[in-house]
Structure 1
Amino acid sequence: MSGGPMRVLIVDDEEITASAHAAYVERLTGFSVAGVAHTGHEAIRLLRRPDTVDLVLLDMNLPDTHGLDLCRQIRSAGLDLDVIAITAVREVGVVRASVSLGIVQYLIKPFTFATFADRMRSYLDFRRSFDDDGRLLATQGDVDHTLGALRTVAPPAHDKGLSEGTLQLVVAALAAAPSALSATELSDSAAISRVTARRYLEHLVASGAATKSARYGAPEATRCSR
């Protein structure tokens, strides 16, 4: 790890999603985007450049390989970097294998920027736990504190009355839609009331997880930023 910001390689086969994650990274203090790859082959090519990447944000579903296989290649190459899984894959076997391979965080899509920021800040705390004094030996308390930084994540802050379940339902509906949705269209898609749809859309726009756009002759529509 260099003395500057953590250099992040984003690996995701969907260009829109990869661009959104890159924008998320750039919004966070302590991180910078080192590159974006849409295939495992492209990721390996970028990782072969010496001292260019500290952290990989890794999707499991890639067109030419599985994320776990790419992680195994990273480990076998002896590259000194960490991996955070960012994926829609929920199978327990994949999650367990990720832990075995040393993947330090596992973030399930869809998610809001607030959730992403919490995970990234926890990771940064983890990496910097021993950086301040340059000690070669750690106490048990040091180890507990360092590992705890990965596991302690603040709950996402929502406006009063908003539920995480409904929020994730709305985010999923926006992410799955081929184009931006109005409150009425979201209401039909997610099977919630128009009032509820409008309230959650306003929350997502305010938090930066979604963007609003005007449509000629039609109500304003919202698209998920991710």
Structure 2
Amino acid sequence: MLDQESTPAVDASDRSVIQVLIVEDEPLTAEAHAAYLQRLPGFEHAGTAGTGQSAIRLVAEAATTGSPVDLVLMDMNLPDLHGLDVSRRLRAANLECDIIAITAIRDLQVVRGAISAGVVQYLIKPFTYATFAQKLTTYREFHRQLGERSRVTSQADVDQAFNSLRTPTPITLPKGLAEGTLAGVTEFLKARSAPVSAAELTDELGISRVTARRYLEHLAEDGSVLRSPRYGTPGRPENEYTWRRD
């Protein structure tokens, strides 16, 4: 496995921006997570580590620079250490950062171990950008609420902060897209086993082809649907879209 490390320059003066370390031994996957992260406001890619040992070192180094890591996106299956071991070692070294586990493991024992190791969210592979954005947006609210107080003042403060991790935060749609229409498009795609074109969606929902294409492209960009060219049809080439079921 490749041990990939990078530490982009960050603005240490802006502590409202959440500094994120990506821990992932597959370079293409790490790049995908970094690209997702760049699309979300309020987050900064603070670096990438390809092993558990390098993750611990980078968090420790960041803590001494005045720009500590706030959040670690932790792959559980690393070439040298299990992600839970890395999480426990960070805690033992008093390196304060939150952890979101990113893994294909669905075993309940591992999930329980993640909770006991201080993991605040659990993101199961494979996932779409929409799922990734939902988890991190929820975490951002949790981080904001804790940051507003120098100390916890009441049980209500504690409850409110932890509830923010469990309450989905709505993702803002691009201008011109409506929640109701998006829900209709999504339901139609989920119900179809065969790929759908913008023309077919137009006939089904009674919207214009331009509008249908905008919604389909939005779902393709966030990873919810697979987009591929449709061959063998007369006239102008068009794409077809299939709901991702993996």
Q: Is TM > 0.5 for Structure 1 vs Structure 2? A: yes
- Cα deviation, 1:60-88, whole Å, max 9, x if unaligned, reads 11111211111111111110111001111
Aligned to 1:195: 196
Matches within 5 A, 1:1-226: 3-51=15-63, 52-132=68-148, 134-154=149-169, 159-163=183-187, 166=190, 192-195=193-196, 205-207=217-219, 208-210=221-223
Q: What is the TM-score when the length of structure 2 is the normalising length?
A: 0.67
SS in 2 for 1:63: coil
Q: Between 106-115 and 39-48, report the one with greater CA deviation.
A: 39-48
- Cα deviation, 1:132-173, whole Å, max 9, x if unaligned, reads 3x443421211111110011125887541535x959xxxxxx
Provide the aligned C-alpha RMSD in A.
Answer: 3.6
- Cα deviation, 1:193-218, whole Å, max 9, x if unaligned, reads 2338x97x98674242348688xx99
Q: Distance in 2 between matches of 1:58 and 1:203?
A: 32
Q: Which amino acid aligns with 1:110?
A: P
**2:185/2:215 contact within 8 Å kept:** no
Q: Distance in 2 between matches of 1:135 and 1:65?
A: 34
**2:87/2:118 contact within 8 Å kept:** no
**2:21/2:69 contact within 8 Å kept:** yes
Size of the alignment, in residue pairs?
Answer: 199
Percent identity for Structure 1 against Structure 2: 44
Q: What is the TM-score when the length of structure 1 is the normalising length?
A: 0.73
Shift of 1:49: 0.6
**1:11/1:18 contact within 8 Å kept:** yes
Unaligned runs of 5+ in 2: 1-11, 172-178, 202-212
Aligned to 1:175: none
Shift of 1:113: 1.3
**2:19/2:71 contact within 8 Å kept:** yes
SS in 1 for 2:15: coil
**Aligned CA distance change for structure 1 residues 33 and 99 (closer, same or farther; 3 Å):** same
SS in 2 for 1:160: helix
